[in-house]
């Protein structure tokens, strides 16, 4: 079994706010170490379960993987192909797993939740709200690659389970704010999602290792991990007001047959009346 491991920093236990995810800030190096150790725990579990080849993808904007700490049995991808989506994934993979993933923008009790950037208010495809998990899981489904495991905060785990029934998850922290922040600007929203209760990183890694192993073992006998897709695809992104945008906007794009194609399209922004 060949596995693509998608990684991000905001869903890692012990990563408390943006100072842990941003270059030049006090805890950035620690944030990368915490992510890399969670990735290594997942790799351990995947190999125990029977995975034979693993590619780790560092998808955090400024970089989230400490290469010297990374398990030597994996390859590491950094950067994207010409057509960004599906982020280097292809049909040769059997499964995708997520480590350190956060929930989509505006998720109640989501810790550091956002989609792509803090500017997204909401992204929907055919009316269904998705986040970074859904974006890649749906690309994977179009390619016939199964989504089998994800770790991150509790709100992320519920989001993944709702979109992919049967997916194995490991929750490593829990956000404390129910307020989804729909009317906040980007800077206010950034500050609104930072409170959480974290598992100890050592305990988080135990859960991730167990979950990843179980996911590979279950995938051998159980049928789960592919999202049924229904073309045509209409993708709408609503954007929050900020220094750049005095008021909220939206853009929409459509593709008759391919979810991956619609992810690579961007339309003209128009004023959003909400």
Nearer to Zn ion, 94 or 123 (CB): 123
Backbone angles phi, psi at 39, to 5 degrees: -60, -45
Nearer to Zn ion, 110 or 211 (CB): 110
Query: How wide is the angle at C-alpha 24 spanned by C-alphas 18 and 30, nearest 5°?
Result: 65
x/- mask, Zn ion, residues 129-158, rule CB under 5 A, reads ---x--------------------------
User: Which region, judged by CB under 5 A, interacts with Zn ion, from 6-14, 73-81, 172-180, 239-247?
Assistant: 6-14
Provide CB contacts within 8 A for 178, sequence distance 6+: 108, 109
Nearer to Zn ion, 8 or 153 (CB): 8
The whole-angstrom separation of Cα 70 and Cα 5 is: 13
x/- mask, Zn ion, residues 97-136, rule CB under 5 A, reads -----------------------------------x----
Nearer to Zn ion, 132 or 154 (CB): 132
Shortest Å distance, C-beta 187 to Zn ion? 18
Query: How wide is the angle at C-alpha 72 spanned by C-alphas 112 and 211, nearest 5°?
Result: 50
Q: What is the DSSP string of 229-262?
A: --SSEEEEEEE---SS-SS-EEEEEEESS-HHHH
Exposure on the CB side of residue 63, measured as CA atoms within 13 A: 13
17 forms part of the interface with Zn ion (CB under 5 A): no
Shortest Å distance, C-beta 207 to Zn ion? 20
* DSSP β-bridge partners for residue 110: none
Shortest Å distance, C-beta 91 to Zn ion? 25
Q: How many CB atoms lie within 10 A of CB 177?
A: 16
Binder of Zn ion out of 4, 5, 8, 225 (CB under 5 A): 8
Shortest Å distance, C-beta 40 to Zn ion? 20
Number of residues that bind Zn ion (CB under 5 A): 2
The answer to whether the CB of 57 falls within 8 A of the CB of 6 is: yes
Nearer to Zn ion, 8 or 66 (CB): 8
By CB under 5 A, name the binding residues for Zn ion: 8, 132
């Amino acid at each position: 079994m060949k596995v693509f491991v998608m990684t991000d920093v905001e869903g890692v236990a012990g990563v408390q706010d943006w100072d842990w995810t941003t270059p030049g800030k006090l805890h950035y190096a620690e944030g990368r170490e915490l992510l890399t150790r969670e990735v290594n725990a997942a790799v351990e579990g995947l190999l125990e379960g029977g995975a034979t080849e693993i590619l780790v993808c560092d998808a955090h904007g400024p970089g989230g993987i400490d290469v010297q700490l990374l398990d030597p049995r994996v390859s590491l991808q950094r950067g994207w192909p010409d057509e960004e989506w599906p982020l280097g994934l292809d049909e040769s993979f059997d499964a995708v797993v997520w480590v350190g993933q956060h929930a989509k923008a505006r998720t109640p009790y989501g810790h550091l939740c956002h989609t792509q950037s803090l500017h997204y208010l909401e992204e929907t495809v055919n009316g269904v709200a998705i986040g970074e998990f859904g974006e890649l899981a749906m690309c994977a489904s179009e390619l016939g690659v199964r989504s089998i495991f994800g770790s991150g905060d509790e709100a992320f785990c519920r989001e993944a389970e709702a979109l992919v029934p049967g997916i194995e998850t490991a929750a490593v922290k829990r956000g404390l704010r129910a307020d989804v922040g729909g009317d906040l600007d980007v800077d206010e929203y950034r500050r609104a999602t930072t409170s959480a209760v974290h598992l100890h990183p050592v305990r988080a890694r135990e859960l991730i290792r167990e979950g990843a192993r179980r996911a590979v073992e279950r995938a051998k006998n159980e049928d789960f991990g592919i999202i049924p897709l229904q073309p045509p695809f209409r993708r709408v992104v609503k954007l929050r007001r900020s220094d750049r945008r005095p008021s909220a906007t939206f853009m929409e794009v459509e593709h008759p047959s391919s979810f991956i194609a619609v992810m690579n399209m961007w339309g003209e922004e128009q004023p959003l009346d909400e």
